[in-house]
Amino acid sequence: MAAKRKREALAAGKAKRARSAPSAGETVPEGGPRERSVPPQEYSIPPPVSQGKWKNKERVLIFSSRGINFRTRHLMQDLRTLMPHSKADTKMDRKDQLFVINEVCEMKNCNKCIFFEAKKKQDLYMWLSNTPQGPSAKFLVQNVHTLAELKMTGNCLRGSRPLLSFDPMFDQEPHYALLKELFIQIFSTPQYHPKSQPFVDHVFTFTITDERIWFRNYQIIEEDASLVEIGPRFVLNLIKIFQGSFGGPTLYENPHYQSPNMHRRLIRLSVAAKFREKQQVKEVQKIKKKGTKVLVEEDPTEVVFETPAEEKPVEIQLVKPESKPIVKDKKKLRKIQRKKQKKVFRTEG
């Protein structure tokens, strides 16, 4: 036991001496406290982005009405995936009025809303609104292609912050400038959002062509800074801009907008006009055929080379013709014919 205590005491003394010994790079003055000289660092690691304060607390509610098809449902899910600051909700009943959405956004603690409204199971409308004060804009969504449908080669990190690229036309017209500010507040991911990533690896582009707004999503490739499309893609045809949220006075109405019902009606009228034109052509041809034909006078010289047919004497048969015997065997029939011929020759001779 005594030997064990001695070994423990020696080990404790060595540990104390090791702690008290100055390390490399430390200078111990003669009469003052011990000072440590730290070598200068060449690279400094920045603090993580999550330590920043989340000030811009924009939350977007993305949901739809009942009656949407599978393509709209996939598009809505793609937007929720690309926007980490979005929230979801159950489908709204068709009988409810649109101003009820303001109350839903208030319950969900959202100040922006993207609402998909389906009509006739074939027309899709999109509402972008700043709740509850406004403004709000209503669009007709056309040419929808989702992420799963496009099968693009690009890929981006989930939750990363996008760059927003706008056409120069957005700064020339006042209604486009209003829509630009609405797009920026809705589609841009707030900085230091808890669900976002501190990377910028894709771009949302808004282009104005043919009086419509074309939405595209591209990935930024780090090697050569080129762009590869990811999806989804769709076209927004502006209908109206309202002062309030989902209603109110109309600030702008698109004069180039044509409703889908009118478009389908014009297509039906054009098809009916083509069919009616074909029927009229047929009737004109029938009338031409039934019209009086111009009779050409007979030419007297045509009868010059006609020769009258010889008149044959009319023969009256007084004797009943002999009935031919019905013989199934052809050889017997030939024998009978030969016998008749021989009788005829004999009478003549």
* pLDDT per residue as tens, the chain (349 positions): 455 555 565 555 555 454 444 444 444 444 444 445 555 556 676 555 555 788 888 899 999 999 899 999 999 999 999 999 999 999 998 888 888 999 999 999 999 999 999 998 889 999 999 988 889 999 999 999 998 887 777 788 888 889 999 999 999 999 999 999 999 999 999 888 888 888 888 999 999 999 999 999 999 988 788 888 988 999 999 999 999 999 899 999 999 999 999 999 999 999 999 999 999 999 998 888 887 666 777 888 887 888 877 888 878 878 887 777 665 667 777 888 888 888 877 777 6
Q: What was the pLDDT predicted at 325?
A: 64
Sign of the dihedral defined by the CA atoms of residues 237, 239, 177, 200, in that order: negative
In which element (H, E) is residue 282 found? helix 260-290
Residue 225 to residue 219: CA distance in whole angstroms: 9
- The Cβ of residue 59 has, within 10 Å, a number of other Cβ atoms equal to 17
Residue 147 to residue 78: CA distance in whole angstroms: 7
Residue 169 to residue 176: CA distance in whole angstroms: 7
Q: What was the pLDDT predicted at 128?
A: 95
321 part of a folded domain: no
Q: What was the pLDDT predicted at 291?
A: 74
Place of tokens 């949302």: 204
103 part of a folded domain: yes
Question: Any idea what the CATH number is for the domain that residue 133 is in?
Answer: 3.40.50.10480
Q: What is the pTM of this model?
A: 0.65
Backbone angles phi, psi at 55, to 5 degrees: -95, -50
151 part of a folded domain: yes
Place of tokens 């999806």: 231
Residue 347 to residue 349: CA distance in whole angstroms: 5
70 part of a folded domain: yes
156: containing domain: 60-263
Distances (CA, A) of 281 to 197, 249, 268, 286, 291: 69, 52, 20, 9, 16
Q: What was the pLDDT predicted at 22?
A: 46
Q: What was the pLDDT predicted at 318?
A: 81
CA neighbor of 124 nearest in space, from 143, 145, 141, 101 = 141
Structure tokens belonging to residue 281: 């052509």
Distances (CA, A) of 207 to 155, 204, 233, 295: 22, 10, 12, 72
Q: What was the pLDDT predicted at 212?
A: 94
Residues in the chain: 349
274 part of a folded domain: no
128 part of a folded domain: yes
96 part of a folded domain: yes
Domain count for the chain: 1
Q: What was the pLDDT predicted at 28?
A: 43
23 part of a folded domain: no
CA neighbor of 122 nearest in space, from 311, 261, 276 = 261
Q: What was the pLDDT predicted at 316?
A: 80
- The Cβ of residue 99 has, within 10 Å, a number of other Cβ atoms equal to 13
Residues 6+ positions from 240 with CB-CB distance below 8 Å: 137, 138, 250, 252, 253, 254
